[in-house]
Structure 1
Amino acid sequence: MPGLLLPLTRAVTYTRWLHMLVGAIVPFACAMVYPGLSNPSPHDWLLVAVLPIPLALAAGIVPSVRHAEGLQARLMLFPGPHARVRNDEDPGVSTVFSASWTDRARTGAWLVLRLESGLALALVTNTLLTLALSLAGEPGRADPLPYVSDAGWVYTLLAPVPVLALVMVAAGAGALMAQAARRLLGPSVKERLAELEKRTEQLLERNEIARELHDTLGHALTLAVVQAGAARAAGDPHFTDRALEAIEETGRAALEDLDRVLLVLRDTGRPPGARPALDEAGRLLDSARSSGAQVDAEVTGPLEHLPGPVSREAYRMLQEALTNVLRHAGPVRIGVRIAVEAARLRLEVRNPLPDPAPVAGTGGGRGLRGIRERAALLGGEARAGQHGGHWLLRVDLPL
């Protein structure tokens, strides 16, 4: 029983009721013109239901009507801030303008359904409220029920029954209209594809931002830790000054990258700063050298003429590779080879194996996984593992 009375306490029941009754305004307005509302016959009520249909179909052709109907349906047919239930689910009703004839046809069908259901609910509402007033013995009723002198109070007690029945009918009709709104005003296939593409782009953007933060901050913090440890171990004031200078430069570059990423997250409308490219690899190599590592670099080919996406992603791969070496092996001898060969970019980073040596091919760290993801997005591949007593990372990217 409490479950049956639950719709009485929900505000959405009455907003749906109102939404449907508003749909009856057009049929009644047409009925006042023809055939009139003075003692209408069943044939007259049939005309009242049929005459507004061409108007509804014509209104459905207007693109903005779908937008307006979608907003009304979202506000009045579904639980929201006005309801006494928590429902964060998307109602599944579109609020965009009609973009195709299919959208226009669905909007016209929705308008016809809204007019007809509103007219039916208005007639039911009038009938049941009239019955309730008659049972209550309202003075001035048009057709009073016959009273029995010694049992008239029974009719008065029955007066709330039509009202409760009316609320239940309105609640059921409103729930059906909400389902119909999802089908007729819901997003089209084209809109669903556009929304899916938008979500995919957002996920890719978030992953890209996560990789950017991981590469930038991880590189800066790793260099700072290695340089600080080397300076403390060396005990040389001159070396300490150089290490502090390198930490300052690396930290400043990391802050610039962080500001650029935050501009994207805040969506300020200002274009983010330019991302570093592979022709600036010397900055990475110098940072690694300043940490105490011996870097032997071999660069062949015009790096400045590389395509932008390839050059920027390769820079991040090299940054992550150097960070991994310093993090896991320390300031060791590092061999770097960057070559532009026959429409391909080849990047190799080699370093002695740390003790204990990692298991070849595991690649369990975020850094190697990020490098592989970047390479795969560019149509290339990245491999890492033991090779002749060294740890070797090879990246092959098409141009």
Structure 2
Amino acid sequence: MSFSLSTVFRPLTRAVTYTRWLHQLIASVAGTLAGFVHGGTFRSTGMEVWLWIAVLPVPVLLAAALIPAVRRVEGLQAQLLLTPGPHGPEERAGTGISTTPSLSWRDRGRTAGWLLLRLAVGVPVSALTVQLPVLSFAFLQAAAGHRTHFRGLPAIDAPHGWYALLVPLPLVVLLAVAVSAGSLMAAAAGLLLGPSAAERLAVLETRTERILEHNRLAQELHDSIGHALTVTVLQAGAARAAGSPEFTDRALAAVEETGRQALTDLERALRLLREDVPHPAARPVLADAERLLESARAAGSTVRAELSGPLAALPGPVSREGYRMVQEALTNVLRHAGPVPVSVRIAADADALELEVRNPMPASPAPVAVGRGLRGLRERAVLLGGKAVAGPDEDGEWRVHARLPLSRLR
């Protein structure tokens, strides 16, 4: 029994019950204003006044539904008054109620249906909100022995004490109607003001782009941090084996520079993940490739580089992804072959950018496994319309080669 009573009275303790009630009362404002404009409306008697309030604003509401911004206003009002809980941007997005202007005639039709439903529900609720408390007061006066006759209500000519039993009944009915109508309008808002098919598609595309961006950031962090850790491990090992203070100083300087660059990449990735930061740090491009070559040389490799073509004039996406591809190739050399001689070729012309990294195979090569790095390298090339291959060549060297077309990006 206690559970049933708590279920019955729980809506009365929730703020959303009263905000929904307010939402229904607001719906009769348009009819009230129309009644003032239409002479003689409030000289009518009884329920005729409420009938005029329900009918007069219909043409105005239908015309208003054609205005795209009206759907946005109604959506914001529905979110704030019909849905419970906090109303921050994320919470509002989860209500299923759209706040975008009408984009099609279907949206305008749904908005018109919503406005008419608000009027059809709001006017009766407003009428009951006015009349039922008056009826309770009439019963109270009748219980006290007074005759009563209020406008719009039947007269009580035979007062009696038993009318006291009827005093709470109109208020209970009013609360039940307000709660039920509020739940009805909240459900209808999702149907009539919910996102259209075009809006749902746009949200899906935005979410997909965000996932792809996060995956790209994960790949960049893998490349950058993996390169930094590989160089640091090799430098530390070489410094300990050399036993030379001069070499140790150079190794520590290389570790410091590599770590600083890795921290910059990490900070940039984290800033991109924070939506409140509008201008993240710039990503490295192929014009900065000398930094990668010096890092590999500092790790003990002999690097022979051939850079040709207008690298500084390359399109941004190609230049940035090309930098990461060279970085991953050099990281794989240091990680799997150690400080061996490396040949790097970066050549750009009007049609394509070519990247090639070669190094001798280890004396006892480990089984070749396609890890995240090589897979990411190939994915980068495919996304730019190019192709990347990695593996042993006929000369017994490990070769990473990528060709990225430029004609479609200019």
TM-score (norm 1): 0.82
Aligned-partner Cα distance in 2 for 1:44–1:219: 79
Partner of 1:374: 380
TM superposition shift of 1:175: 1.6
Q: Contact 1:7–1:168 at 8 Å: present in 2 too?
A: no
**Of 275, 285, 290, which aligns to 2:293?**
285
Which of 234, 239, 247 in structure 1 is aligned with 2:242? 234
Structure 1 residue 34, shift from structure 2 partner: 4.4
The partner residue of 1:332 within 328, 331, 340 is 340
Structure-2 change in CA distance of 1:42 and 1:318 (3 Å): same
Question: 1 CA distance for matches of 2:133 and 2:359?
Answer: 87
Q: Are residues 1:51 and 2:56 paired?
A: yes
CA distance in 1, matches of 2:197, 2:345: 49
Is 1:10 aligned to residue 17 of structure 2?
no
Question: What is the match of residue 371 of structure 2?
Answer: 364
Out of 303, 308, 313, the residue aligned to residue 316 of structure 2 is: 308
Task: Give 3-state SS (helix, strand or coil) of 1:330's partner.
Answer: coil
Tell me the amino acid that sits aligned with residue 342 of structure 2: I
Q: 1:328 to 1:170 in 2, by over 3 A?
A: farther
**Structure 1 residue 45: Cα displacement:** 4.9
Task: Give the letter aligned to residue 346 of structure 1.
Answer: E
- Return the match for 2:200 from 182, 192, 204: 192
Residue 78 of structure 2 corresponds to residue 73 of structure 1: yes
For 1:393, the equivalent position in structure 2 comes to 400
Q: Deviations over 1:51-104 (max 9, x none)?
A: 11112223334444333322211110111239xxxx787112233344555444
Q: Tell me the equivalent position of 1:25.
A: 29
Q: Is the 8 A contact 2:79 2:97 kept in 1?
A: yes
1:383 aligns with 2:389: yes
Give the match's secondary structure for 2:65. helix
Percent of aligned positions with the same letter in both sequences? Answer: 54
Matches of 2:365 and 2:137, distance apart in 1: 90
- Superimposed CA distance per residue, residues 229-286 of structure 1 (whole angstroms, 9 cap, x where no aligned partner): 111111122322221232233234334444554554555545743x332243232122
Q: Once the 2 structures are TM-superposed, how far is the Cα of residue 115 of structure 1 from its aligned partner?
A: 2.0
Name the counterpart of 1:40: 45
Which amino acid in 1 is paired with 2:120?
Answer: E
State the aligned residue count.
388
Is 1:207 the counterpart of 2:212? The answer is no
Distance 1:18 1:27, change over 3 A: same
- TM-score after normalising by structure 2: 0.80
Q: Note the alpha carbon deviations across 1:94-152, whole angstroms, 9 max, x for none.
A: 33344555444433332222222111212333454344445555656433485667xx2
* 2-structure distance, mates of 1:287, 1:208: 23
Structure 1 residues 161, 321: CA separation in 2 closer, same or farther (over 3 Å shift)? farther
Q: Separation in 2 of the partners of 1:59 and 1:333?
A: 75
**CA distance in structure 2 between the aligned counterparts of 1:354 and 1:88, rounded to whole angstroms:** 59
**In structure 2, distance between residues paired with 1:46 and 1:136:** 28
Give the C-alpha shift of residue 352 in structure 1: 4.8
State whether structure 2 residue 171 is matched by structure 1 residue 163: yes
Q: How does 1:65-104 map to 2 (within 5 A)?
A: 65-81=70-86, 90-104=94-108
Runs (5+) with no aligned partner, structure 1? none
Residue 3 of structure 1 and its aligned partner are, at CA, apart by: 3.1
